[in-house]
Homo-oligomer: A and B are copies of this chain.
Amino acid sequence: MEKESQTMARYDGRRFDELRPISFKPSIAPNATGSVLVSFGNTKVICAATAEKKVPSWLMPQSAEKGWMSAEYSMLPYATLTRKQRPVSAGKQDGRSVEIQRLIGRSLRAVTDLSKIPGHTIWLDCDVLQADGGTRTASICGAYVAAKIAVAKLIEEGSIKEDPLIDAVAAISVGLLGDRAILDLPYAEDKDADVDANIVMTGSGRFVEVQMSGEEATFDNEQLCDLLALAKKGISHILQLQQKAIKEGLE
């Protein structure tokens, strides 16, 4: 059996349920309120949380009671092997980036008590420095670390009174490659996967977002459950690494 599992091992030698090496390097962008460079293998994303003393106009009437949190996601032109044109040159953001930044924003707001940042917007900027699969889930993981560091700084300087982040949040990609559920897909696996899923969970083990898509493929209930279980396992580990990174970032 051992032999078979070895022949079936992933092209980078990982087990099917194994994460890539993960690291969080705090303070990559010192002018942000909080920042971190997050790496999942060769995927590297600059995550920065910046507080602004204003809220979107549609929130104005309630701005004394509530704040806002919003994400922006972008690929740097040299993040991919083929240079990607900047959004401002293309004239607009591509649809994929719009979809991703909406996911990041929703994921962080799900663990945030917006009434604890009245009159403030916390921006979560995620700029991909190197793309090798899983940039959206890495962005969520890094955005949480950056936000946590930013919040500590805002409390320290007296801008806000209490920590609005009421739970931790982390995310991971899982997928089906043939019949096999695999964890944390790099680009080489992602492009061949039949089903691509992104799972976001809280520190207390609850789901925030479940997104499973078959591009020119479908999946059944059992496969769905396998993917969720695999994601849960990966997220538990990431949550521990985030706590360690936040501690370091606040030292």
Contacts and interface: CB of A to CB of B under 8 A. Distances in A.
A31 interface: yes
A114 B216 contact: yes
Contacts of A215: 106, 109-110
A117 interface: no
A213 B211 CA distance: 8
Given A28-B129, A99-B98, A210 B207 contact: no
Contact of A206 (B93, B110, B218): B218
Question: Which secondary structure dominates where chain A touches chain B?
Answer: mixed
A29 interface: yes
A19 to B, nearest CB: 20
Among A92, A98, A214, find the residue whose CB has the most chain B CB atoms closer than 10 A.
A214
Interface string A93-117: 1011011011000100111101000
Given A31-B130, A212-B210, A88 B98 contact: no
A135 interface: no
Interface in A19-52: 28-32, 35, 42, 46, 48, 50, 52
A3 interface: no
Contact of A220 (B50, B91, B206, B211): B206
A101 B94 CA distance: 13
A89 B208 CA distance: 28
Contacts of A212: 207, 209-211
A106 B72 contact: no
A92 to B, nearest CB: 6
Contacts of A152: none
A83 B46 CA distance: 15
Nearest to A195: B207
Given A29-B78, A99-B99, A207 B220 contact: yes
21 contacts: A29-B130, A30-B42, A35-B78, A46-B76, A48-B76, A77-B123, A77-B125, A88-B88, A88-B92, A106-B214, A109-B215, A110-B216, A204-B218, A206-B218, A207-B218, A207-B221, A208-B218, A209-B211, A210-B212, A211-B211, A211-B212
